[in-house]
């Protein structure tokens, strides 16, 4: 089957070619022994497989059915009436709580909540710490400067 009809031939053999293509292939087959032989070989192979009808053992089918029955008795997610009623009651309770709970209508909630003053005090504390650190650092620089001067004086005396 070295001609260009290989794929068309396959579609025709398996009944997937449209009417136009089927007629075209039929006409081609009349003059192409190679394609006829290929179809005959394909038909023989199909016939061989069709003769065989092996079946799985009954034990395999029964094993699947046993597991299916067991799974059917253990539903994964089935609501009972009691569960449905309970879920509804809980949802209603949540709605009531949110509908009637006192709410702060002010949009500038952060300013009135004390949050800002709290943040101010944190900022103030941080500023204080920074000042103290700077001051101690200054003291250290000063002390170090004095020690350096004393050391230079002693060196001069030794000379």
Partner 1 sequence: MTEGLSDTELVAAFKGGDVEALGALMERHKAALYGYLLRVTKRADAAEDIFQEVFLKLVHNPGAYGEREKFKAWLFTVARNAAMDYFRRESSRRALACAEGDAPVYGEEEAPSRLDSAASPEPGPQEALENKQLGERIAAALDKLSDDQREIFHLRHYSELSFKEIAEMLGLPIGTVLARMSRAAARLREELEKAAQ
Chain residues that interact with partner 1, rule: CB under 8 A? 1-2, 6-7, 9-11, 13-14, 16, 34, 37-42, 44-46, 48-57, 60-61, 63-65, 67-69, 71-72, 75
Q: In terms of CB distance, is 55 or 99 closer to partner 1?
A: 55
Q: How far is the CB of 31 from partner 1 (least distance, A)?
A: 17
**And the tokens for 157?**
């005396």
The nearer residue to partner 1, 49 or 101, going by C-beta atoms, is 49
Handedness of CA 13, 14, 17, 20 (dihedral sign): positive
Tokens representing 1 are 């089957």
Instruction: Evaluate whether 17 touches 11 at the Cβ level (below 8 Å).
Output: yes
**CB closer to partner 1 out of 58 and 157:** 58
CA gap 149, 155 in Å, rounded: 10
Shortest distance, CB of residue 119 to partner 1, whole angstroms?
A: 51
Least distance to partner 1, CB of residue 11, Å? 7
The distance of closest approach from Cβ of residue 108 to partner 1 in the complex, given in angstroms and rounded to an integer, is 50
Determine how many CB atoms are found less than 10 A away from the CB of residue 25.
20
Asked whether the beta carbons of 7 and 24 are under 8 A apart, the reply is: no
Nearer to partner 1, 71 or 93 (CB): 71
DSSP 41-58: HHHHHHHHHHH------H
């Amino acid at each position: 089957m070295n001609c260009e009809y290989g794929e068309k031939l396959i579609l025709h053999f398996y009944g997937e070619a449209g009417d136009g293509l089927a007629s075209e292939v039929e006409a081609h087959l009349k003059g192409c022994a190679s394609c006829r032989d290929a179809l005959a070989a394909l038909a023989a192979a199909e016939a061989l497989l069709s003769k065989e009808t092996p079946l799985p053992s009954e034990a395999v089918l029964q094993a699947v059915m046993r597991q299916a029955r067991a799974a059917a008795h253990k539903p994964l997610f089935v609501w009972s009436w009691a569960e449905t009623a309970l879920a509804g009651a809980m949802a209603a309770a949540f709605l009531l709580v949110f509908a009637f709970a006192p709410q702060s209508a002010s949009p500038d909630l952060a300013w009135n909540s004390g949050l800002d003053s709290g943040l101010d005090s944190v900022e103030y504390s941080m500023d204080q710490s920074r000042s103290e650190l700077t001051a101690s650092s200054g003291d250290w620089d000063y002390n170090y400067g004095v020690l350096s001067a004393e050391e230079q004086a002693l060196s001069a005396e030794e000379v």
